[in-house]
Structure 1
Amino acid sequence: MANLRTISEAEIQEMGSILHSRVVTEVVAQIQDMLGRLKSTALEIAVTGEPGSGKSSFVNAFRGLGDEDPEAAPTGVTETTLEAKAYAHPGTPTVRLWDLPGIGTPSFEPQRYLETVGLHRYDFFIIVASERFRECHVVLAKCIERAGKRFYFVRNKVDNDLEATARRRSGDASAVLQQIRSDCEAGLRRCGIDPPPLFLISCFHPQNFDFLLLQETLARELEGHKRHVLLLALPNFTSAALEKKKQALRGSLWRTAVAACLGAVTPGGAAGSIVPLLMDTLRSYQQNFGVDGDSLRRLAGLTGKSYEELRREVRSTSGQELSSQSVERMLSQVAAGQQALARMLESRIPVLGAVASGGVSFVASYYLLQTAIKDLSEDAERVMHKALNGSDLERRGYQEDIPEPQEFF
């Protein structure tokens, strides 16, 4: 093996030039392509059901909006959806819910209906009902299954059933819910579906009943980038949902930091270009955790809390209004302790170690973003408890496996 000390200074400079002009450029291009595909991945969710079942309210609740929000799908006692219309999630716009025309009319023909609304554009279907399981649901479910698409059956407005029972004093809540569940399960089993993909919900109380379970199920059954974007779109109603968002963002953290750092040293790049990229990433993190101004205003309108009291729960530096100066200050704070980490990195991944030794380092970028994810998730937790009056609504969570850097490279 050649002794590095015998290589001339000119040879070392030539190697460095080749490294920067070829290897780093290729690495940056590949990572930017990965991040681009992650950000542009679309998730198309079809919401269908009978007129008056609450399809539009479901679309709004899934997006974390009240029916009175300016961005909400229109709702009413009569059928308001005459053609398929897409509604983007306000914080994750690549997640779109399609409010489809109602089913169950005398002229309803499932196959023609599915062709008309564009069956194959959707990743899965949500069938919304507000009363008994009907024959039109059976026929539609069978057609969706035959087309190779997943569907989930949602029995909406269970809060109305419970209120009616309370007024009549004709039974307890658990018995009413079990009766509703049994009726719907029997209908789904007639389709040959067992176990039935059934969820009892109230669009006006999405933190109760099975709404959160539905979203957990969707995330579990999706794969790859589509799963990632759905996790980021989940409403912040539980600590478990926040944990999943945190883990999802950590899963792409290495790629984001590498793209920012190496992008500044490629031909045509500039060291200062790392700050705008980091600023854009931090702003997207604020949206993902729902602590930016627009998200807090929507949450205030949904919960009846004031914007100001929710805003006071956002205490981290990463959660405040961002500027080039504030990002540079955060970078300088984490850069002070980076030297030992840079040496460790250089021994494991020489290309990155070389970059980390000068200018704005990969290590500083990585730890800035890692700290921001942690701090913003804590801000979001405080906002959630303030918005929900501190109720402990946490459901069971799970841990994502986050790849080690050597596994990625």
Structure 2
Amino acid sequence: MGSPPRLHDPRAFFQPPPPTPVPPTPHVPPALPSAVLWDLPGPGPDEVPEAYVTQLLGLAPFACLVLVLPGPPGGNDVAMVRAVQARARALPCLVVRTGADLALHTAKRRGHTIARLLPQLRAQVSEPLARAGLKPLGVAAVSTLEPDRFDFAWLEDVLVREVLQLPMFDPGDLLEELPAVRERTLRALTEACAGGSLAEAPGLLRAALADASQLPVDVAVVGQPGSGHTSLIAALCGDAPGTHTLPGAPGLTLWDLSDAGTVDPSRYDLLLLTTSNVYCEPFIRLARAAVAAGRALIMALTQVDVDLRDPPGSVGLREQLVQEGLAETRVFLVSSHEPQAFELGRLRQALAEEAAGLQRAALPVIIGRLVRRERRQVLAEAWRQALHVCLRPMEDAGHGLATALQASAATFGLDEASLTRMAIAAKLELRELQAQIRCPWAQMVQPSMVLEAMAPSPSLAARLWSYVPFWGSPSVPQPQVTLETAYRLLSQAAVEMALDAERVLLRACTLG
């Protein structure tokens, strides 16, 4: 519904079950004025799920069922899904696993990460249902306190698809994993775009990425005692006392850490592991945890200059990393005392490249959030615009729909003026951005085109009877614009324009 949870009211979360049955509560979501969300109490412990489903399906012709679970499904939950699929096979069933934020908090204390947590939370729900021969439309792990994280956006998209019956979405789409970007970076980019339109977003995002002070990157430099990791930090930072900032990358900060067993990889954007041995078990464990957390990982073999006659090669370390499933980890041979003799310069360049890559990885997430925010507003206006069009004379309906479509295109930054402004800011040709647009209603359309697309033409029989002056009507009947068809056109155009807007913004934000 878009409203914050009622944390000020303890009864909203801590209250016993109602002693008597309460009628279902309807809610109209702002983004989908034509839909009604019914808050239905689940079956009680002594209630037969089949009887509950029979009563449930008799309340209203539901378009979708959302089963909310705080954990793995119990016997009654499995029986309820089975009863729904047996009674109404065409009724899609979504299963939502709530409390993902609490599960993540507990998982961090046990050494797990979000990259492993989300598949586990979904598997805790999907596997019991699969063993019972049931396959819901999808399983989403969400947190109602943090709607920008986890699978909440995917859940909203599926509900929009089911309500509007849009064929462009595939129910079999897999849930995308969150990128290895810290929430702090996402918040900073979101604040940089606050108050601006989608047409202004590329310029604001590019400016934020160019200003390293707005998007700091933390690198955990972890080394065992005697490995020289402190000297390596000084060599990387130019031997400036008290500074841990890499030259050429002012937003990149190096953190001097020594105990690999106490490092939480999720608190840093990048991990640099330094060791003087070919193999170190604590570092291998930390490397596995960093990869599981989705963090970039670099290893440095230090003290290469100790014995120049037989310098320790990185071949043994790379072989060990391959055996541990860490073959993608880059290894550099360095010496803090002779920085020009080995690969210290390449290591410094690799750190700067990883930092820039992490910042660019946040762009799809931020663009998706910005576009979904505008899509909610456009969908909320679609019902009012459709009603306004249907209340006007037929000759004005086409102009009203064309005006509404042009306003939606301008909101998503797909009109010619917005595209031109973005092309100039991104130093691109206008046709490069126009090539990303696939929705036919995003361009300038004529009222007659809109009416022809949404209002069916008179049948052949009606046209023939119109030529008979006595029995037939004196003229060909005009097509009528109904509220349902007008709303469907505007809402479907809004969803298609949102997809186009994401492609246009990603192209406009591409950095050379």
TM-score (norm 2): 0.36
TM-score (norm 1): 0.44
More helix by share: 1
Higher relative contact order (CA 8 A, sep 6+): 1
Of structures 1 and 2, the larger Rg is shown by 2
